[in-house]
Homo-oligomer: A and B are copies of this chain.
Amino acid sequence: MKDVKVVSYGIGVIGRRLATHLLGKEGVEIVGAVDINPQIVGKDLGEVLGREKLGVKISDDADGVLSKTKPDVVCHTTMSYLSQTFDQFDQILKHGVNVVSTCEELSYPYATEEGAEYAKKLDKIAKKYGATLLGTGINPGFLMDTLPTFLTAVCEEVEDIYITRQMDAATRRVPFQKKIGAGLTVEDFRRKIEDHEITGHVGLEQSIQMIADALGWELDEIRVDPVEPVVLDHDAASEAIRVPKGHNAGSKQKAYGIREGRALITTDFRAYIGAPEEFDSIRINGVPPINQKISPCVHGDHGTIAITANMIPLVINAEPGFKTMIDLPVPHATPKHMGKYIK
> A residues bordering B, Cβ < 8 Å?
21, 138, 142-143, 146-147, 149-150, 152-158, 214-217, 286-288, 290-296, 298-299, 302-303, 305-307, 309-311, 325-337, 340-341
In the complex, A336 Cα to B149 Cα: how many Å? 15
In the complex, the answer to whether A153 meets B332 with C-beta atoms within 8 Å is yes
In the complex, A334 Cα to B158 Cα: how many Å? 9
Contacts of A217 in B (CB 8 A): 335-336
A127 to nearest B CB, angstroms?
Answer: 16
Contacts of A152 in B (CB 8 A): 310, 332-333
Copies of this chain, how many?
2
A54 to nearest B CB, angstroms?
Answer: 20
In the complex, the answer to whether A291 meets B287 with C-beta atoms within 8 Å is no
A284 to nearest B CB, angstroms?
Answer: 8
In the complex, A259 Cα to B231 Cα: how many Å? 50
Contacts of A143 in B (CB 8 A): 154
In the complex, the answer to whether A298 meets B302 with C-beta atoms within 8 Å is no
- A–B pairs, 18, beta carbons within 8 Å: A138-B154, A142-B154, A146-B330, A149-B332, A152-B310, A152-B333, A153-B306, A153-B332, A155-B306, A158-B333, A214-B330, A288-B302, A288-B303, A290-B298, A291-B294, A291-B295, A292-B293, A327-B329
In the complex, the answer to whether B326 meets A330 with C-beta atoms within 8 Å is yes
In the complex, the answer to whether A330 meets B333 with C-beta atoms within 8 Å is no
In the complex, the answer to whether A302 meets B287 with C-beta atoms within 8 Å is yes
In the complex, the answer to whether A153 meets B327 with C-beta atoms within 8 Å is no
In the complex, the answer to whether A215 meets B335 with C-beta atoms within 8 Å is yes
Instruction: For A146, give the chain B residue with the smallest CB separation.
Output: B330
Instruction: For A303, give the chain B residue with the smallest CB separation.
Output: B154
In the complex, A127 Cα to B291 Cα: how many Å? 39
In the complex, the answer to whether A330 meets B325 with C-beta atoms within 8 Å is yes
Contacts of A326 in B (CB 8 A): 329-330, 332
In the complex, A142 Cα to B155 Cα: how many Å? 12
A142 to nearest B CB, angstroms?
Answer: 6
Contacts of A154 in B (CB 8 A): 138, 142-143, 298, 302-303, 306-307, 310
In the complex, A143 Cα to B311 Cα: how many Å? 22
In the complex, A291 Cα to B293 Cα: how many Å? 8
In the complex, the answer to whether A309 meets B341 with C-beta atoms within 8 Å is no
Given contacts A146-B330, A158-B333, A291-B294, 15 further A-B contacts (CB under 8 A): A149-B332, A150-B330, A152-B333, A153-B306, A153-B310, A153-B311, A155-B333, A215-B336, A216-B335, A217-B336, A287-B306, A292-B294, A292-B295, A326-B330, A329-B330
In the complex, the answer to whether B299 meets A333 with C-beta atoms within 8 Å is no
A302 to nearest B CB, angstroms?
Answer: 4
A219 to nearest B CB, angstroms?
Answer: 13
Instruction: For A154, give the chain B residue with the smallest CB separation.
Output: B303
In the complex, the answer to whether A305 meets B216 with C-beta atoms within 8 Å is no
Contacts of A287 in B (CB 8 A): 302, 306
